[in-house]
Structure 1
């Protein structure tokens, strides 16, 4: 049913999705749909959760097979996988991580992108051993929001994703994280003595 939901969203968008249409596409009785999902919002929530699991699995696979010189290369990989899902995963270009339905679809206390940033933080901390500090989590949340907006722009400009916009998105995110998270970059950017920086 989730596969059918993704196909329908690609065809007619979230607004066009109905439980009746889903039952027809999935070739199941309407009662079978309601056995698992009370409404279309619940269906999309389940599809979104599946997409998040797929995204995190893609990241883990990339980290396991890739040779990353620094943790921000892992961020690049995260952006690459998000772009790849836009291009290859049915329904993802429309639903993303559920924000079309509800910006707090995944967690009532946080925006969807905050959930993604939190998961990305966990992966980066575990893979690269960087300190799990508040500034890292905050900077990654900002980076996720910015990357999300620019990637959506790229796919509005070109159904395959405007490569110029995607390149600029990656450059912008990398520069931002260099300045706000990487201690060495902060030290180089601030000529003041250490005691004045700490003041």
Structure 2
């Protein structure tokens, strides 16, 4: 297991699921509830999501929802954790791609991989990895973006030998990517090409000296 995969642990801890699924049927039911929540969020945003909406969209009873989630916040936390897991999996694949000859190239690939999740992952545009709601436990010293940045920095070190001193700069690049990519998809389902190009340009500037 790679460092980038291990970094899902913090986000998973932020999702207080009442009953961890141990059978395939329970796992599928939980996934269906989260899929339903994501679909509703795509339509009306996360602010108006209710557990009743999740149950209705999933064709399940409200009791089934409460079997796994104590409230709507827990649903959002769990979906954010899943989104983070999927983002980290996508970034792990991207950073390992042989088409990237340098660490800077790989970071520019992070822009593309992130944009693809905005296009294809239901609910991702509104919720992303949860920083928009500050869903991590109060005891946590890291934001979700910081978790992602740490994982990306570790991945770049593994692949390209990037120095540890570059971690802060990489964190800034990840923050830029999150901000500009989310803005690119605010009103354009395909992603505003000019804003995505701007994200790439700014990332190059941010890491120019460090990498």
TM-score normalized with structure 1 length: 0.82
> Which residue of 2 is the match for residue 164 of structure 1?
194
> Which residue of 2 is the match for residue 72 of structure 1?
104
Aligned 1:44-59 pairs, distance under 5 A: 44-59=76-91
Offset from partner CA, 1:62-110 (integer Å, 9 cap, x none): 3444322111111111111111111111000111111232264697322
Contact kept? 1:45, 1:106, Cα under 8 Å:
no
Q: Give the distance between the partners of 1:72 and 1:8, measured in 2 at CA.
A: 37
2:166 is the alignment partner of 1:136: yes
Does 72-81 or 150-159 show the bigger shift?
Answer: 150-159
Deviation at 1:145, TM superposition (A): 1.4
Root-mean-square deviation (CA), in Å?
1.9
- Of 205, 208, 211, the match for 1:175: 205
2:152 is the alignment partner of 1:152: no
Offset from partner CA, 1:131-188 (integer Å, 9 cap, x none): 3x1x311111111112221122222253321101110110111121012x12xxxxxx
Contact kept? 2:181, 2:196, Cα under 8 Å:
yes
TM-score normalized with structure 2 length: 0.78
Contact kept? 2:95, 2:156, Cα under 8 Å:
no
Structure 2 vs 1, CA of residues 90 and 102 (structure 1 numbering), >3 Å: closer, same or farther?
same
Q: How many residues align?
A: 179
Q: Give the distance between the partners of 1:61 and 1:153, measured in 2 at CA.
A: 24
Aligned structure 1 segments of 4 or more residues deviating by more than 6 angstroms = none
Offset from partner CA, 1:113-147 (integer Å, 9 cap, x none): 1111111112212222323x1x3111111111122
Give 5+ residue unaligned stretches, structure 1: 183-199
2:86 is the alignment partner of 1:40: no
Q: Give the distance between the partners of 1:54 and 1:34, measured in 2 at CA.
A: 24
- For the pair shown, the structure with the greater C-alpha radius of gyration is 1
Q: Give the distance between the partners of 1:121 and 1:106, measured in 2 at CA.
A: 24
Higher relative contact order (CA 8 A, sep 6+): 2
Q: Give the distance between the partners of 1:105 and 1:8, measured in 2 at CA.
A: 25
